[in-house]
């Protein structure tokens, strides 16, 4: 039981994970619900930027996501950044195309 609580209380960092051509994801999660997601997001951005810079490329953010309160029962502050590492001059570097996630789901049923 004690070892289970130790594992559950650890902060987590995914590291850089490829999710497509030149596209990656990194996420950070706090160990408790008592810290904000702002610093987690900043750390994820720093890791993403360093990853691209080490490859001589520029960071282009595709999307970001944060866990929503209440921060209880394992739903701790979390920040995820999806990004691309692109060559200088790539047209995709013009501006980020961040869009908010939909907070409503619409189900369409076929008429019988």
What DSSP assignment string belongs to 1-38? -HHHHHHHTS-EE---EEEETTEEEEEEE-SSTTS-SH
Residue position matching structure tokens 């160990």: 31
pLDDT score, position 54 = 96
Torsion sign across C-alpha atoms 15, 40, 31, 62? negative
Rounded Cα distance between 65 and 62, Å, is 11
Q: Is the pTM of this model over 0.75?
A: no
> Helix, strand, or coil here: 48?
helix
Contacts of 66-73 with C-beta under 8 Å, sequence gap 24+, read 66/37, 66/41, 67/29, 67/37, 70/33, 71/32, 71/33, 71/34, 72/33
For residue range 7-37, list pLDDT tens digits in order: 344 567 888 999 988 899 998 888 766 666 6
Residue position matching structure tokens 């490829």: 18
pLDDT in tens, the chain (112 residues): 333 333 344 567 888 999 988 899 998 888 766 666 668 888 899 999 999 999 999 999 988 888 777 766 767 788 889 999 999 888 888 765 655 566 666 677 776 6
Residue position matching structure tokens 């908010």: 100
Do 12 and 28 touch, CB atoms closer than 8 A? Answer: yes
């Amino acid at each position: 039981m004690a070892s289970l609580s130790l594992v559950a209380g650890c902060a987590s960092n995914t590291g850089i994970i490829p999710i497509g051509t030149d596209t990656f994801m990194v996420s950070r999660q706090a160990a408790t619900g008592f810290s904000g997601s702002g610093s987690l997001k900043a750390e994820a951005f720093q890791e993403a930027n360093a990853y691209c810079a080490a490859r001589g490329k520029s960071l282009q953010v595709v999307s970001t996501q944060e866990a929503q309160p209440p921060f209880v029962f394992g739903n701790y502050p979390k920040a995820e950044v999806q990004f691309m590492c692109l060559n200088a001059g790539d047209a995709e570097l013009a501006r980020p195309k961040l869009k908010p996630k939909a907070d409503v789901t619409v189900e369409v049923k076929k008429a019988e």
